[in-house]
Amino acid sequence: MSSRHEVIVVGVGGMGSATVAALAARGVDVLGLERYDVPHEMGSSHGVTRIIRKAQYEDPAYVPLVSSAYDRWRELEERTGRDLLHVTGGLDAGPPGSRVFEGSRESCERHGIDHEVLAADAVNERFPGYGLPEGHRAVYQPDGGFLVPEQCIVAHVEAAHADGATVRAREAVDDFVVLGDDGVRVTTRKGTYEADHLVVTAGAWTRKLLPELGDLAVPERQVLAWLRPTAPGRFDPSRFPVFVHATDDGHYYGFPRYDVPGFKFGKFNHREEVVDPDRMAREPTPADEELLRAYAERYFPDGAGPTMRMATCLFTNTPDGDFVLDRHPDHPQVTVGAGFSGHGFKFASVVGEILADLAVDGTTDHDIEPFRLARFEGFDRR
């Protein structure tokens, strides 16, 4: 099989599906290639729920992007008729001085985000599923909630199909070559495809396609747990906000019960295991379960009942924890979206728009200077 397109997108997960949809909406002849199913559970964009919040403790610079993302998700819901974004409220909690609490408060204050600052006892009284310890504080954001990642991917692909895109699943890219003014040639086991431009949104497989990004898009094994609450009603979406929580042994995050009979949570960077995504241990271990259960028993005792489900996924981390959104400095025919470092899915709807901008126009109206490759040594070659 051989064909020519205007743009090829490699990887049709959270970011890639949004990019394919954004390109197709502009009338671009776009081909999306996915090594697994659409959607699938081998990468980062799965696990039933993903947090979305307007306050960004990571850096206030993310706030304008996530504000746009909220709008794009609602537009996608309206177009496809799917329920994608569920508002539960959100808590960014931890001891005073912690990055999660202080960064979230700064983000809210700088950007005028509706919020409350609550002491631990106020959190526990208002949301009785919580058991925050004395001395911890939280920023409560009423607009926080979760996205349903698998449905988000399906919705983006449905929208892309309706606008004329071609998406091929179970077709891994073996290699690509830059053809100069003629664009790029992509080779899979099933065929060869050419295009004017290539967008790489391959998640943990990015550095296999772009070895020069080897230290800038590092895959890490992540584990999630769902435990059956002993007081299930306290963990319903109407009574349990999503959360990020700074503790003395790391940052955790969690969700109300939704579509699985358990309260879902995980630890950022879990065991800090750098992995090859093709060879990683995908089955959660008893040690994984014990680590997560110890957290639930301490801070969410009513949520620490029998284990209902566990799952592994992948983070892809940059050295500074921020995204890569840029054209390749040596090959302007190639655009890269990578390194979403465990907090990217909420941005997918707007990241797709940005990557489409870069592929077609070479620039974007969104402020992506913090996410350029030039911030890393050896990539300032413009």
CB under 8 A, 24+ apart: contacts of 65-68: 65/347, 65/350, 65/351, 65/366, 66/346, 66/347, 66/350, 68/349, 68/350, 68/353, 68/366
* pLDDT the model gives residue 233: 97
Q: How far is CA 117 from CA 19, 121, 136, 258, 376, in A?
A: 37, 12, 11, 26, 36
Angle subtended by helix axes 348-361 and 14-25, to nearest 10: 50
| Residue among 254, 346, 367, 352 at smallest CA distance from 53 | 346
* pLDDT the model gives residue 201: 98
pTM of structure? 0.97
138-160 tens-digit pLDDT: 999 999 999 999 999 999 999 99
* pLDDT the model gives residue 143: 97
CB 13 within 8 A of CB 20: no
Q: Domains for the chain: give ranges and CATH numbers.
A: 2-45+150-217+320-375 (3.50.50.60), 88-147+219-317 (3.30.9.10)
| Residue among 337, 331, 278, 327 at smallest CA distance from 20 | 337
Query: Can you read off the two tokens belonging to residue 47?
Result: 């696990």
Q: Which residues of the chain have pLDDT under 70?
A: 1, 380-382
* pLDDT the model gives residue 382: 45
* pLDDT the model gives residue 61: 87
